[in-house]
Chains A and B, each alone.
Chain A
């Protein structure tokens, strides 16, 4: 199974909104609503930000939102803050094969 495709970088100024895309295929994102997004600050444990495409775990600000259209999922960060600067990864759980596919990661820079 190939990795999901993410842009290597994204950026925005404080207060702005930025969206990060995650493109898969009809066999993964296109079929299953098991898309998750993680925030990863280097040297720290990754943090789950979105699961099942649109759901936020407890404690995650509502500035973070997820969506999906066809084979592409997106993470939108609204009202950018300096602490949002991190690497972001999408994943898709492919239930038919019982595997998890990661995207290559997107480095988000807050200008």
Chain B
């Protein structure tokens, strides 16, 4: 059964770092494009980052570029989102998702909560 499970969220102070993990079950992440999407409290969904299946292309939303890094460890079938220099506005539920085709996210996790607060 295809499933993705996020972990690593928590409460952190502004300026600190956090690494989110997304473990894939039922498929191999190297065969699929993967994305991170977030939803801030009371707001809509916001795309954060993507990585192509072959890893040749990676990109980020302007709001996180230079602070967040998407990566993957194929040996343990896990996608990561390294988040540095966190800000209050990064507070959100973070979802990882597997692509069906360009820009379409077929399988989503339940999300992991990140709260940035002093």
A interface vs B, CB < 8 Å?
1, 34, 36, 38, 40, 44-48, 51-52, 57, 87, 89, 91-93, 95, 97-105
User: Which residues of B74-115 have CB atoms within 8 Å of chain A's CB atoms?
Assistant: 95, 97, 100-106, 108-111
Stretch of B15-23, B24-32, B40-48 that contacts chain A:
B40-48
> Is B61 positioned at the interface, with any CB of A under 8 Å from its CB?
yes
Asked whether A34 lies within 8 Å of B103 as measured between CB atoms, the reply is yes
Asked whether B50 lies within 8 Å of A100 as measured between CB atoms, the reply is yes
A-B pairs with beta carbons under 8 Å apart, 29 shown: A34-B102, A34-B104, A36-B103, A36-B105, A45-B95, A45-B108, A45-B111, A46-B45, A46-B95, A46-B97, A46-B105, A46-B108, A48-B104, A51-B106, A57-B100, A91-B47, A91-B104, A92-B103, A95-B102, A98-B57, A98-B59, A99-B50, A99-B59, A99-B61, A100-B35, A100-B50, A102-B37, A105-B44, A105-B45
Asked whether B95 lies within 8 Å of A89 as measured between CB atoms, the reply is no
Give the dominant DSSP class at B's interface: strand
Q: Which residue of A lies closest to B103 (CB)?
A: A93
A102 vs B47: C-alpha distance in the bound complex, in angstroms?
A: 7
A47 vs B57: C-alpha distance in the bound complex, in angstroms?
A: 25
**Known contacts A45-B109, A45-B111, A46-B108; is A102 also within 8 Å of B45 by CB?**
yes
B interface vs A, CB < 8 Å?
35, 37, 44-47, 50, 57, 59, 61-62, 95, 97, 100-106, 108-111
A77 vs B44: C-alpha distance in the bound complex, in angstroms?
A: 21
Asked whether B47 lies within 8 Å of A101 as measured between CB atoms, the reply is yes
Q: Give B89 Cβ to nearest chain A Cβ, in Å.
A: 15
A44 vs B111: C-alpha distance in the bound complex, in angstroms?
A: 9
Q: Which residue of B lies closest to A102 (CB)?
A: B45
A52 vs B32: C-alpha distance in the bound complex, in angstroms?
A: 17
Asked whether A48 lies within 8 Å of B106 as measured between CB atoms, the reply is yes
A1 vs B46: C-alpha distance in the bound complex, in angstroms?
A: 12
Q: Which residue of B lies closest to A8 (CB)?
A: B44
Q: Which residue of B lies closest to A46 (CB)?
A: B108
Which residues of B lie under 8 Å from residue A36 when comparing CB positions? 103-105
Which residues of A lie under 8 Å from residue B108 when comparing CB positions? 45-47
